Amino acid sequence: MEVVKVLNNSLVLSKDKDGKTIIVMGKGIGFNHSKGDTINEELIEKIFTPKDPTDTKEYVRILASAPREYVENIYNILQDLKNNWQHKLDDRYFLILLDHIAFAIERVNNGFVFQNKLLNEVRIYYPEEYEAGLMIVSKLNNTLQINLPEEEAGNIAFHLVNAKKEDKNFEKTVLSMQLLKDILNLVQYKLNISFDSRSMRYNRFVTHLQYFIHRILENKQLDTRDEFLFNQVKNKHPAELKVAMSIADYCNKMTDIDITSEEMLYIIIHLIRLTNQDN
């Protein structure tokens, strides 16, 4: 394996056996080397294989701009996660997380902390990814002697969610959580209630909303077109009907999708259960 270009003391561009460009990482691997020199394979810690020239530029930018101490610690922590993670976490997502975490550390070191307004929804919606985010933040704080806030666990969870999704639709992930947050706020305002996030009633309602939002975004709404039960329920529960209509209007504005009567029916039923103190 030969040096194509030395990026810094720890990074060099090279070619694999098929002639594809690779980035080789290792402590001192580029020191006193130039194009054409043989790479000491004993120094190789990690090999990154970009898919195309655009990826190569992005890989180089991220790896070359992050302090080596960050790269080493973040790489080791994410490698631990990858070994225990049930979902695919490829090089691209390692680099995306490296880029995000390095920037987060820089922000914190400069006294800038941005509030994650969807943090509670991340906890509810993606508990596995959130716990992984907490683990990463905790290890980074311990190894680098820094003070990343809990909000960063939620931000990291976003990336982990996107990494395991086949469609890689990060925008849909964010929209799902935004819908959940806003619907919960709308219900509290319209019904003049406060949620106890520890209660079974609340968690049952949140679970229903999660499935409801998923069906909307995947175009899989419940729709038997049987209006009889819907008409019965809405006539008996006008307050819950009004809230359900507000939810449907909001979802339509956000997604341009009309909510079916059957979905409205189940929203009303869950609103009734939510406010029924005997249930």
- Domains of the chain (ranges plus CATH)? 5-50 (2.30.24.10), 68-164 (1.10.1790.10), 173-275 (1.10.1790.10)
| Residue that has been written with the tokens 């899989």 in this structure | 220
Backbone angles phi, psi at 52, to 5 degrees: -155, 175
* Tokens, residue 54: 């655009």
CA distances from 26 to 44, 263, 273 (A): 5, 55, 59
Does the structure show a pLDDT above 50 at 167? no
Whether 4 contacts 35, CB under 8 Å? yes
Whether 59 contacts 48, CB under 8 Å? yes
* pLDDT winner (highest mean) among 33-42, 111-120, 130-139: 130-139
The pTM of this model reads 0.62
Whether 16 contacts 49, CB under 8 Å? yes
Average pLDDT over residues 116-124: 76
Residue 31 binned pLDDT confidence (cut-offs 50, 70, 90): confident
Residue type, 54: T
Q: Put the strands of the sheet holding 5-8 in their side by side order.
A: 5-8, 11-15, 21-25, 46-48
> Which pLDDT value is given to residue 9?
84
Whether 14 contacts 36, CB under 8 Å? no
% of the chain exceeding 70 in pLDDT: 94
Mean pLDDT, the chain, integer: 85
Per the model's pLDDT, the better-predicted residue between 84 and 182 turns out to be 182
> Which pLDDT value is given to residue 121?
76
Average pLDDT over residues 119-129: 82
